[in-house]
Amino acid sequence: MALPIAVSLPELGLSAPVVPVGVAPDGQAAVPPDGGTVGWYRFGPSPGAPAGSAVLLGHVDTADGSLGQFAKLKQADKGDRVIVGRGAAPALTYRVVGVDTVSKGVLPAAEIFRRDGPPQLVLVTCGGPYDRSEGGYQANLIVTAVPEPG
């Protein structure tokens, strides 16, 4: 299976390189340390897999105050295109079917990181209010997209 190397949402002017990520020391999915890169959760399906959720994770902003690649993700709408570049393999096109903000305490991890069921692409970033005393953003923004019929 060809691995993702770039993701774009043309309607938002979002385009970012993608690198594989794993699990952070706290047991959660890792996010690339810089805001300029998006991470693909390498322990799950890759984009283009016949089943399950391919997950991409990125930052809204960084500790130095610069915007991350997923800062524009909050502007995503149903029907927007998500294009995943895979090097020499053909690019994949998905269509956004859901944009949701959920509290970090109720993140539906079993659905986001599933390995079976219909194929989907899930983009995850921080969302909701930012509260420094509570450790940062209090929610996650989840954008779900399904493969465009080919």
What are the structural domain ranges in the chain?
6-147
> What is the three-class DSSP state of 134?
helix
The candidate with the shortest Cα–Cα distance to 6, out of 30, 41, 53, 40, is 40
Residue 144 CA to residue 7 CA, distance in Å, equals: 14
The candidate with the shortest Cα–Cα distance to 97, out of 81, 73, 118, is 81
pLDDT at 117: 97
Given pLDDT bands bounded at 50, 70 and 90, which one contains residue 95?
A: very high
Residue 82 CA to residue 145 CA, distance in Å, equals: 7
pTM for the model = 0.94
Q: Residue 99 corresponds to which tokens in the numbers above? A: 């944009």
Is 41 buried (19+), middle (13-18) or exposed (0-12) by CB count in 10 A? buried
pLDDT over 70 percentage in the chain: 97
Residue 65 carries which side chain, given as an amino acid letter? G
The structure tokens 């800062």 sit at 71
pLDDT at 150: 67
Average model confidence (pLDDT) for the chain? Answer: 92
Residue 133 has pLDDT above 80, yes or no: no
**Tens of pLDDT, residues 11-67:** 999 999 999 999 999 888 999 989 999 999 999 999 999 999 999 999 998 878 888
Is 19 buried (19+), middle (13-18) or exposed (0-12) by CB count in 10 A? middle
pLDDT at 51: 97
CATH architecture of 6-147: Beta Barrel (2.40)
